[in-house]
Amino acid sequence: MLVQLMQYRRDSRRRGATVVMVMVSLTMLLGFAALTVDLGVLYNTRGDLQRSSDAAALAGAQALLDQNRLKGSAELNEAIAASRTEAGTYGSENAVYGLPTPTVNSSDITVGYLSDPTSSTEAFDFTDPTRFNAVHVRVRRDSAANGPVQLLFARIFGLETSNVTAEAAAALMDGIEGWRVDERTGNAGLLPIALRQSAWLDLLNGTFTSGDHYTYDTETQTVSPGPDGILELNLYPGGGAGQLPPGNFGTVDIGSPANVTPDIIRQILYGVNEADLAYFGGELRLGDDGTLPLNGDTGLSAAIASALEDIIGQPRAIPIFTTVTGPGNNATFTIVGFVGIRVMHVKLTGSMNSKHVYIQPALVVDDAALAGPASGSSYYVYQPVRLVR
């Protein structure tokens, strides 16, 4: 009898211990369940916020490709403001978990310049709005915007809400230092025409210009007589008023030095192809010192007039150079960068004073362009917009 009583007491203790263990285990399981459910909510919210910030940054950077930003400070400010508006709009159009229309605070949108968009640590530069090329967007759920995420089971541990934030940066990849052509990129929109760097800078500064005679319509993509607010430059070397003196302009050999006029015409009409760049080992690129020697000709042949007329209004890039040595078709140009232009009007017949090739600055986007930090001399030429942070 005594033995049975002792056994009963031991069994009772075991059952009591088991109940305690079960209760503790259930509490832990409930805790893990709460953690799993709420972590899932936070994970989904974070993913939605990231998609919103990505879309907003891309849309804002794309909006910077506004030809009107080249017309003056007022239009430039409008383009930057439109970029911020576009970023805010796209950031608000992507539903976030539990919030169909999130709000993007204006203070969470930054537009500025990155000299090396591939750097994850470079700070935005705001000193020169004409070169703005990047947009950073933060989309959040916290007390500052959209309200924090409401937790469910975690409330039993005293955790009622959690802040979640996502951010992204997109950029027009500039600092173009060369060109490579493959099946993905298609031909490079690079004209075999070189302009002296000082003449380009004088055009941008308004200190040397042929005036403003022609208008480019961004909607119809056509050119017509009349001013459009963007100054022009007459590339024709020498002669009448507003024309560049000899030595400021020439054609260059993008390919073999044996290139002839039909090669130049083909490149004007259809771009530089893979075979042209094979002469340079597959890509045309500035060296470590930021320069590239190209053979060329300091003259301008009337034979290319028809080809130039055929591309009027189309955005193209041209090399700019600092020095040229050698006469005629034995000239060597020291290329230091690439700039975006648009041919506006061509006339290479008649008197010397009436001949002209009018160009104006233009925004050029080209898959074949190679971006990097080496060229601070390139202007208005970009790779397509992409996320960089």
For 148, which DSSP code?
Answer: P
What pLDDT is attached to residue 6?
Answer: 47
Task: Answer whether residue 323 is part of any domain.
Answer: yes
Specify the range with the lowest mean pLDDT, choosing from 137-146, 156-165, 365-374.
Answer: 156-165
Which residues make beta-bridge pairs with 360? 342
**Domain match, 222 and 156 both:** no
What pLDDT is attached to residue 23?
Answer: 54
Longest C-alpha distance within the chain, in Å? 134
Task: Answer whether residue 9 is part of any domain.
Answer: no
Residue 61's CB: how many other CB atoms inside 10 A? 31
DSSP string, 153-189: GGGGGT--EE-EEEEEEEEEE--EEEEE--TTT-SB-
What pLDDT is attached to residue 11?
Answer: 52
The continuous run of DSSP H or E covering 344 comes out as: strand 331-347
Task: Using the 3D structure, point to which of 172, 199, 229 is the last residue of a domain.
Answer: 172
Q: Is the model's pLDDT at 368 over the cut of 50?
A: yes
**Domain match, 147 and 206 both:** no
Task: Using the 3D structure, point to which of 172, 195, 216 is the last residue of a domain.
Answer: 172
Looking up tokens 């056509």, which residue turns up?
222
pLDDT, greater one: 51 or 115: 51
Task: Answer whether residue 14 is part of any domain.
Answer: no
**Domain match, 192 and 337 both:** yes
Q: How far is the CA of 4 from the CAs of 8, 14, 18, 181, 184, in angstroms? A: 6, 15, 21, 93, 87
CA 144 to chain centre: 30
User: 3-class SS at 333?
Assistant: strand
Give residue-wise pLDDT tens across range 337-361. 999 999 999 988 877 777 888 999 9
**Domain match, 215 and 358 both:** yes
Q: Is the model's pLDDT at 57 over the cut of 50?
A: yes
Which residues make beta-bridge pairs with 376? none
Report the C-alpha gap between 68 and 65 in whole angstroms: 9
**Domain match, 310 and 239 both:** yes
Q: Are the C-beta atoms of residues 250 and 194 closer than 8 Å to each other?
A: yes
Task: Answer whether residue 298 is part of any domain.
Answer: yes
Task: Answer whether residue 6 is part of any domain.
Answer: no
- Side chain identity at 388, as an amino acid letter? V
**Domain match, 152 and 181 both:** no
Exposed/middle/buried for residue 262 (C-beta within 10 Å: 0-12, 13-18, 19+): exposed
297: tokens are 């000709």
**Domain match, 309 and 321 both:** yes
What pLDDT is attached to residue 25?
Answer: 55
Give residue-wise pLDDT tens across range 225-279. 999 999 999 887 665 556 777 678 888 999 888 778 889 999 999 999 999 999 9
**Domain match, 152 and 289 both:** no
Task: Using the 3D structure, point to which of 172, 202, 226 is the last residue of a domain.
Answer: 172
Greatest mean pLDDT among 31-40, 71-80, 180-189 lies in 180-189
Looking up tokens 């700019």, which residue turns up?
320
Domain count of the fold of the chain: 2
**Domain match, 78 and 211 both:** no
Q: How many CA atoms lie within 13 A of 92 on its CB side?
A: 15
Residue whose C-alpha is closest to residue 316's, from 195, 228, 214: 195
Given CA atoms 348, 350, 352, 354 in this order, what sign does their dihedral have? negative
pLDDT band at 303 (very low <50, low <70, confident <90, very high): confident
145: tokens are 């915007």
**Domain match, 97 and 146 both:** yes
**Domain match, 142 and 282 both:** no
**Domain match, 259 and 134 both:** no
Task: Tell me the residue range of the domain where 105 lies.
Answer: 23-172
Strand ordering across the sheet containing 109-112: 109-112, 134-141, 164-173, 381-387, 364-365
Looking up tokens 């089971």, which residue turns up?
153
Residue 195's CB: how many other CB atoms inside 10 A? 23
